Structure 1
């Protein structure tokens, strides 16, 4: 069914200045107009074009500018509100939530979350949820070590500018870095490992798509499970000993890793 787009053009650009001029809706695709609008507004928020605190046009005026029905705009705004990209402010209408610009860190070298946030101009912080020293046969096998070797299990919520960006479960080889057992782990563990004489020099890393579970939804403030990036990393020291194994779930609405590839 037509969604109220007027005129003969099959690819339609907005005809008025402002937000509508940044959006293009296509008629030569099966993708519904509300979904096209939602995806493009989300992209404008993530790349910083629509900064936090920006008030979006009223539903009726935006619909008229785009040549679509008001229902299309309502559906789009409501979806972005449920995904925490927008918040409703009564007569002010819908306002872009702060901190929703998508981060695009490079993957050109080994670095920890703290360094990565600082490179991106964010203030890093961590909330320690769980900290245990224990023996674990399965983890020892993963490290290729005897089951008698102690490990530090560290569960942290990693934040940038106070916004939860990842939930991280990490294991550290205390046989190689015993000082971690009693150290202050509120900052960069990678920097701490360096001062302990076991700096990390290389890692093996995989990135997978994953849905946030109930615990992670609560951490990120999701009303429903949303796609995220699951990053698994094995990190090694100069003696090629595996020091760290970590699984970090990064919110997919805030993270997009960048790779620079050359021929």
Structure 2
């Protein structure tokens, strides 16, 4: 393993275990290079890799700061639940900020629902927070033909609760996929990343008891915060 990667992994382990807690200032590149007896390029590459993993922030001539990291969450995937319920189960206070809410016609999204291309859909883009920390950015589309009340309903809280209590369309099942992706510049800004950090893209198709598809959502979840758990039985 190249020297810079060895140093990167050693520093990563120290940060991950808390031996270098958030707020710790690491030595400047020249100082650390002289102390370890390696080239400055080695230190530059190690620090750059850790910055890309969103573990360090540059402090100019003062060196590099270990970024304070939000608490990791480990939600289970044993049943269908919305973000609000998930955060409450994890002991966090959920909140949302709506970035876009509009009624749209979208041929490609309508085809996912199996609807005509002119079918009205509610598009809802939100940033979801746990204890005021941005956890995910979600873009969701809802079938207004199945639940007309969504168009003018109060969606500032849990949409799943609204569907069950007001819309008469409780969601009971879903098909879900998870893939790795990199955030866009806008998503980095929303999450407060200095450099792009790998994230989890979760795509979900949600259905009622009558097998009517009501929701399609693409949620980008922070890879530095989320670690999903699954229970498998034989």
TM over 0.5: yes
Q: Which protein shows a greater Rg?
A: 1
**Which segments of 5 or more consecutive residues in structure 2 lack a partner in the other structure?**
none
Query: What does residue 157 of structure 1 align with?
Result: 127
Matches of residues 190-205 of structure 1 in structure 2 within 5 Å?
190-196=160-166, 197-205=168-176
For the structure 1 residues 184 and 126, does the alpha-carbon distance in structure 2 shift closer, same or farther, using more than 3 Å as the test? same
Report the Cα distance in structure 2 between the residues aligned to 1:169 and 1:232, rounded to whole angstroms: 10
Query: What does residue 121 of structure 1 align with?
Result: 91
Report the Cα distance in structure 2 between the residues aligned to 1:216 and 1:149, rounded to whole angstroms: 29
> Deviation string for 1:188-227 (max 9, x for gaps)?
1111111122111000000112222232233223344432
SS of aligned partner of 2:202? strand
Report the Cα distance in structure 2 between the residues aligned to 1:260 and 1:106, rounded to whole angstroms: 8
**Which segments of 5 or more consecutive residues in structure 1 lack a partner in the other structure?**
1-30
Q: Judge conservation of contact 1:229–1:251 (CA < 8 Å) in 2.
A: yes
* TM-score normalised by L of structure 2: 0.80
SS of aligned partner of 2:145? coil
Report the Cα distance in structure 2 between the residues aligned to 1:185 and 1:55, rounded to whole angstroms: 41
SS of aligned partner of 2:87? helix
SS of aligned partner of 1:256? coil
Report whether the alignment pairs 1:105 with 2:75.
yes
Q: Judge conservation of contact 1:233–1:246 (CA < 8 Å) in 2.
A: yes
> Deviation string for 1:10-61 (max 9, x for gaps)?
xxxxxxxxxxxxxxxxxxxxx3343244346446656x74686453665779
- RMSD between superposed Cα atoms in Å: 3.2
Q: Match for 1:242 among 210, 213, 227?
A: 213
Report whether the alignment pairs 1:176 with 2:176.
no
Q: Which moved more, 1:34-43 or 1:240-249?
A: 34-43
For the structure 1 residues 141 and 74, does the alpha-carbon distance in structure 2 shift closer, same or farther, using more than 3 Å as the test? closer
Note the C-alpha offset of 1:95: 4.6
* TM-score normalised by L of structure 1: 0.72
For the structure 1 residues 188 and 42, does the alpha-carbon distance in structure 2 shift closer, same or farther, using more than 3 Å as the test? farther
Q: Which moved more, 1:73-82 or 1:144-153?
A: 73-82
Q: Which moved more, 1:212-221 or 1:182-191?
A: 212-221
Q: Judge conservation of contact 1:52–1:99 (CA < 8 Å) in 2.
A: no
Query: What does residue 232 of structure 2 align with?
Result: 261
Q: Match for 2:8 among 38, 46, 69?
A: 38
SS of aligned partner of 1:191? helix
Q: Which has the higher contact order (CA 8 A, sep 6+)?
A: 2
Query: What does residue 230 of structure 1 align with?
Result: 201
Report whether the alignment pairs 1:55 with 2:37.
no
Note the C-alpha offset of 1:164: 2.2
Q: Judge conservation of contact 1:51–1:98 (CA < 8 Å) in 2.
A: no
